[in-house]
Chain A
Amino acid sequence: MNVPIRRIAVVAMIMFLALLINVTQVAVFQAPGLNAHPMNRRARDAEFAQDRGPIFAGGQPIAESVQVDSRFAYQRTYPHGALYAPVTGYFSYDHASVGLEAAYTEELAGTASSLFVRRMVDMVTGRKPQGASVETTIVPSAQQLAAEQLGNRKGAVVALDADTGAVLAMVTHPSYDPNLIAGHDIAVADENYRQLADDPARPMANRAAREIYPPGSVFKLVTAAAALENGMEPGTEVDSPETMTLPNTNTQLGNSTNCGGTRVSIDKALQTSCNTAFANIGLELGDDALREQAAKFGVGSEPLPDLDAVASRFPDEVDDAQLAMSAIGQYEVATSPLQMAMIAAGIANDGVVMEPYVVNAVRAPNLQPLYTHQPREMPRAMTTQNARALQDMMVNVVEVGTGTNAQLSGVRVGGKTGTAQSAPERPPYAWFVAFGELDGRTVAVAVFIEEADIPRNDIAGGRLAAPIARALIQELLL
């Protein structure tokens, strides 16, 4: 009987070998996928209980982990609640995370490959692993001021350092308190999340970077830039009739302000925010020129990936009537406040848009920098000469045009007002885009107010939004 016994011994050996190989392959090939599975409570709980590194703005924490006596050891807290929500985002158990909490989750949790050596040291020494800290470019006083200025009005404010692209302030209203969603009582956090998600005012929407709106007259900056880049001059005169019939339609386009004549210079047209003049410029340049100019300012690409900002839009195909409307920022043109701030910054920075960024540096727990941001230029949008000419035109808007509410003594301020309609029955959007320059420092600001209860003209938009921009420029430069 020994022969069959030897044979079944081989069978038994194969069975054990199969077990050993299978267990090994689970560990080697399947473990990463299983650990990353969204339903894996082990991974999720461990991640949630991590001592995550803080997020700083101007040296003060805007998100930090505090040791608590709960089953998840560390509670993520946001000391300023809703104020920094569009930047920090939230870190939750059931609803993942957004904002910097999502973009830098590996660094904050200490699981990033850049922290590998430290993790090994922690493992050997038995020290609890700690995450890296993230330093933002936000200036707390400006952030605070922008929120106060915006007050109870739905909208957003973005301020950029035009020389570097650093985001100095990013405010959206209504906002939400991330602490509500980050709580350790998961049922309560879930309920809070549901309420916020169902709120018709959409408090979790980041209106500054993740929503796009018709820009209206502020888009005339792009049309003006295209005009200058295509050989026109600030003094070039264009037809600016009281009303005009859009090509091949019966639609009448009128002006909401007095253009100052039926034929005005581009400079004058910008000051008065003359619709018919810019519609004519658009018709003369063609849609390709406008689209190209918009793209050079960043329209169509996604800026600021750290905050998952959305791309602004210029329509792909337009007929002449649509082109005329697009030239004044209507029809299907839609931009985010961040994009508008980038356009102002590009003009103010002599034609070069700096890539916007919100994270200055990532530091290991021992403060050693793991990453430091180096300002990056986007491809030149305008020649220096044209950019300076457009700056002057914007300064004129503030000096003698629709944007006089933004005047600030001692600072060179240029701006552009805008009101835009989304639907006839809804209140218009009010915009103000500006730059301020003092002693070689330049900041750009975009203020956007949704559902502004104002008359549908630019002066009204300027009256509402320009003071916010002025206050912010003052705070940042003076």
Chain B
Amino acid sequence: MPDSVVVYRKRRNIELLMLLLAAGVGLACYTALHLNMSGALPANLPLVAAIWLILPVVLNIMVRWWLPYADPVFLPVVIALHGFGLVMIHRIDLINDPVTHDAERQLLWAVLGIMLFIMVLVLLRDHRPLQGFTYSLFLAGMGLMLLPLLPFIGTEIYGARIWISVGPFSFQPAEVAKVVLTLAFASYLVEKRDVLALAGKRILGIDLPRARDLGPILLMWAASLIVLVFQKDLGTSLLFFGLFVVMLYVSTERPGWAILGALLFIGGALAVYFMAEAGVDQFSHITRRFSSWLDPFSDFDGNRQVINAQFGLAWGGLLGTGLGMGRPGLTTFAKSDMIAAAIGEELGIVGLLAVIVLYGVIVARGLRTALAAKDDFGKLLAAGLSFTFALQVFIIIGGVTRLLPLTGLTTPFMSQGGSSLIANWVIIALLMVVSHHARKPVAVATSADLAGDTTQIVSRTSS
């Protein structure tokens, strides 16, 4: 029995204050953008301000009601990132002639995401029941992940087949698959961790798993390679496999799994790379990504996007050109894949660093939730969700800034696109549900604690 029980404070008022501050930052950006571009306040400022201030208040009320003990930091950070993203999409809308309205659509998606967030809060309230659907969740996740490969609805856009389109709507199912698979893995691994943790051979001081337990990891490996080869998307493939390997490691506490997984992935990726080098047409996309990463200036026209993102970052310099004063439109996909470059250009390196740190805060709070969670499923779920979030931010921002080869992942809460936004709101909802249960004070049964009682030494009397 611990000496003291930590009772977390709810801190909902602080959350409201931070939420309003975060929303205020977004509104300030919106105002500054219009002042810079047209010298006048935006005509719809009152409406935008009303929407953007009401949403956080609604969120705060809902959380107060349903998850009073949830971590208060998540939502303000999300709202701040959301604000930057919307302003930047709007800013790029304004370049077009006639002006496009992607920001309005994105705001609509945000409202939908928030509604979904509230639904998770209201309907789920507790993550533990999800543990019962291991295999259906797994099948659903796999299905979503491989959906773009289906004929007719799967669409290849700019070399990667990660979209499905039905009528006028297009959707990136991988974003949703990410959440569903994390749930499936968490419940599967909680169940099987003891078996998987049994050590097999010990090589170079590392306990390798038993050969008969390799089934699941090989299955995931195969699925990732299918994504890599047929959807031609290194980022998504890396994301799924990384997610699985990390959760495997967390649940079994055996680094052997992580090392084996990393080796498998690197091996697979290298094999694909060499096949691509050897001229297998299927992989030409990937070689191009690599050469544009290592030496973009060797093919200026082919690597225009990466190069322009670099030019944008350099042009922004330390403090940025100011919102509306840069040329982010010169970079293709400045609204979606390359939004980090647009932020870097107009808000400067300082602004981009701030955004990265905001993502870091979400990851830190998520992992903290995992540490604090009282049940294994919650721990694993929170750790998995936080780590994929971190991995995704790392892959896409790393790609945009040329730390890694560029792959088409979305920048959470900022990139244009509904599927990503909705999936990320669900991730935040799940993390907050877990965190609510982790921080909620438990009714401690006050049993008589004999061990703590002072022991009396009773001297024996001789008979």
* B and A form one assembly: yes
Chain A: residues with CB nearer than 8 A to chain B?
A: 1-6, 8-9, 11-13, 15-16, 18-20, 22-24, 26-27, 30-35, 37, 39-43, 45
Q: How far is the CB of A35 from the nearest CB of chain B, in Å?
A: 5
Complex interface: chain A residues within 8 A of B35 (CB): none
Interface set, chain B 383-438, CB cutoff 8 A to A: 383, 386-387, 390-391, 393-394, 397-398, 401-403
Interface set, chain B 233-250, CB cutoff 8 A to A: 246, 249-250
Answer whether A19 and B401 are a contact pair too, CB < 8 Å, given A5-B250, A31-B313, A34-B314. Answer: yes
Q: How far is the CB of B176 from the nearest CB of chain A, in Å?
A: 23
State whether the Cβ of B31 lies closer than 8 Å to any Cβ in chain A. no
State whether the Cβ of B69 lies closer than 8 Å to any Cβ in chain A. no
* Contact of B363 with A26 in the complex, beta carbons under 8 Å: no
* Contact of B318 with A4 in the complex, beta carbons under 8 Å: no
State whether the Cβ of B253 lies closer than 8 Å to any Cβ in chain A. yes
Please name 18 pairs of A and B residues whose Cβ atoms are closer than 8 Å in the assembled complex, sorted by A.
A4-B250, A11-B387, A12-B363, A12-B386, A12-B387, A12-B390, A15-B390, A16-B360, A18-B398, A19-B393, A22-B401, A31-B314, A33-B314, A34-B310, A34-B314, A41-B327, A42-B326, A42-B327
* Contact of A42 with B313 in the complex, beta carbons under 8 Å: no
* Contact of A23 with B356 in the complex, beta carbons under 8 Å: yes
Complex interface: chain A residues within 8 A of B246 (CB): 8
- Report the Cα distance A326→B409, complex, angstroms: 72
* Contact of B249 with A8 in the complex, beta carbons under 8 Å: yes
In the A-B complex, the 7 residue pairs with the closest CB atoms = A34-B314, A31-B314, A27-B349, A15-B394, A12-B390, A22-B403, A4-B250
State whether the Cβ of B352 lies closer than 8 Å to any Cβ in chain A. yes
- Report the Cα distance A39→B300, complex, angstroms: 9
State whether the Cβ of B18 lies closer than 8 Å to any Cβ in chain A. no
Complex interface: chain B residues within 8 A of A32 (CB): 314
Complex interface: chain A residues within 8 A of B353 (CB): 20, 23-24
Interface set, chain B 338-355, CB cutoff 8 A to A: 344, 349, 352-353
Please count how many residues in chain B sit with their CB below 8 Å of the partner chain's CB atoms: 47
Of A19, A22, A43, which is in contact with the most chain B CB atoms at under 10 Å from its CB?
Answer: A19
A interface SS class: helix
Complex interface: chain B residues within 8 A of A23 (CB): 313, 344, 349, 352-353, 356, 397, 401
| 11 new A-B contacts at CB < 8 Å, known A1-B250, A16-B363, A23-B356 | A4-B253, A5-B250, A18-B394, A23-B353, A26-B401, A27-B318, A35-B311, A35-B314, A39-B307, A42-B311, A42-B326
* Contact of B356 with A45 in the complex, beta carbons under 8 Å: no
* Contact of A30 with B310 in the complex, beta carbons under 8 Å: yes
Digit string of B368-393 for contact with A (CB within 8 Å is 1, else 0)?
00110000100110010011001101
Interface set, chain B 197-215, CB cutoff 8 A to A: none
State whether the Cβ of B224 lies closer than 8 Å to any Cβ in chain A. no
- Report the Cα distance A27→B319, complex, angstroms: 10
State whether the Cβ of B115 lies closer than 8 Å to any Cβ in chain A. no
* Contact of B311 with A34 in the complex, beta carbons under 8 Å: yes
Complex interface: chain B residues within 8 A of A39 (CB): 300, 307
* Contact of A5 with B367 in the complex, beta carbons under 8 Å: yes
Complex interface: chain B residues within 8 A of A45 (CB): 327
Complex interface: chain B residues within 8 A of A2 (CB): 371, 379
* Contact of A42 with B312 in the complex, beta carbons under 8 Å: yes
Q: How far is the CB of A31 from the nearest CB of chain B, in Å?
A: 4
Interface set, chain B 262-289, CB cutoff 8 A to A: none
- Report the Cα distance A19→B307, complex, angstroms: 18
